[in-house]
Structure 1
């Protein structure tokens, strides 16, 4: 195990140190004193574990393939941007555009997330499909242009508060969103369908909630006894009528 003190280190210096340590064969790194440094874990393609004490900056884990990143506090925007595989675990809240264009792997967030969570999230057939589980609430445009994968929103800290913001699923054309308890249909875009999860869906939901509860210490049985709502796209080309037809 290697411990790094990130206090007063610029993001590029910190990331150079992380990459060098990994190349030297280290498989677990603990980083203390993190305060807004960008790109931690970006592009790393080895099964290393990175534990972050502090608040990492934008694009944590971007383009990564394989690492496990654990953040013991909050995190900023762009977490898991275009990540292909691996796991990111946030023990606090996360900022905007969580999981932007995410292609594989999983992200678990204990608290709330900001705007445009999981926009452009995608999957490749049945083999590569990302999963995001959010324990709290989310801002507007969640699942915007979502093309694949699984997004689960639990709203565990909901207290007379809207679970999502406006324009839920705008332009959505693949994947599925599962929301615990209920969804205000007035917040949903016109491009989505609202239904009840089937047995196969519930197996997926329960598997991921068990993992979430193991990570963050919640009572799984209490959560899964509630009903869930399934949100899916009406069409694979929601805006097809806006384009000029080809020859």
Structure 2
């Protein structure tokens, strides 16, 4: 195990230390006193475990291909940018643009997330990216989504609070978004529609939502007590008319 005190450490020095140790065979990292250092886990292509005590900066796990990263606090923007494989678990809230162009792996956020989460997510061959947020989301959740699975649970919302902001699923042309509870129709993008769950959806929830609950010590059956619905695109080429002659 490699334990690093990141207090005051320049982000490039920290990331170089992690990568060199991972390439040399180290598999367990504990990073203490992290305070905004960017790019932690970026480009790491090893099956390593990284535990972060503190708040990491932007682009956590960008281009990652296998690491398991646990954040015992909040996290900032662009987690999992173009992520290929691995798991990120955040025991708090996270910022904007999570999972940008993500094509594999899982991102689990215990609490709220910001704007444009899941933008341009896509599936790649057998890889199916997954993002689950336990709280609420800002505008443009699932924008231009081309594949993968997203879930929004609203576990912490108060009566009357919306599950998500506006433009939910705008431009979406692939994948599926699962919502725990209802969402007002005026918040939806024109490219999506609401459907009931089928048997395949139930299996998907058991697999990924079950793992999410295990990560955060939640009771899966209690989480499932509220009704879920799903958003899927009603067009595979929502903007085709803009580019076709």
Would the TM-score normalized by the shorter structure come out above 0.5?
yes
Equivalent positions of 1:103-118 (< 5 A) are 103-118=103-118
Is 1:4 equivalent to 2:18 in the alignment? no
Equivalent residue for 1:82?
82
Equivalent positions of 1:1-247 (< 5 A) are 1-125=1-125, 127-159=126-158, 160-245=160-245
Residue range with higher mean Cα deviation, 211-220 or 167-176: 211-220
Gapped regions of structure 1 (runs ≥ 5): none
Q: Deviation per CA, 1:52-82, whole angstroms, max 9, x where unpaired?
A: 0000000000001000000000000000000
Query: Is contact 1:183–1:229 with CA below 8 Å preserved after alignment?
Result: no
1:23 is displaced (CA, Å) by 2.0
Q: Deviation per CA, 1:77-106, whole angstroms, max 9, x where unpaired?
A: 000000000100000000000111100011
Q: Deviation per CA, 1:178-236, whole angstroms, max 9, x where unpaired?
A: 00011111100111111111111111012222111111111211111221111011111
Size of the aligned set, in residue pairs, is 244
1:124 is displaced (CA, Å) by 2.2
Runs of 4+ in 1 over 6 A off after TM superposition: none
Q: Deviation per CA, 1:1-47, whole angstroms, max 9, x where unpaired?
A: 11001001011111111112112211000000100000000001000
1:114 is displaced (CA, Å) by 0.3
Q: Give distance in 1, aligned partners of 2:8 and 2:204.
A: 43
1:244 is displaced (CA, Å) by 3.6
TM, length-normalised to structure 1 = 0.97
Q: Give distance in 2, aligned partners of 1:63 and 1:124.
A: 14
Q: Give distance in 1, aligned partners of 2:157 and 2:179.
A: 12
1:243 is displaced (CA, Å) by 1.7
TM, length-normalised to structure 2 = 0.98
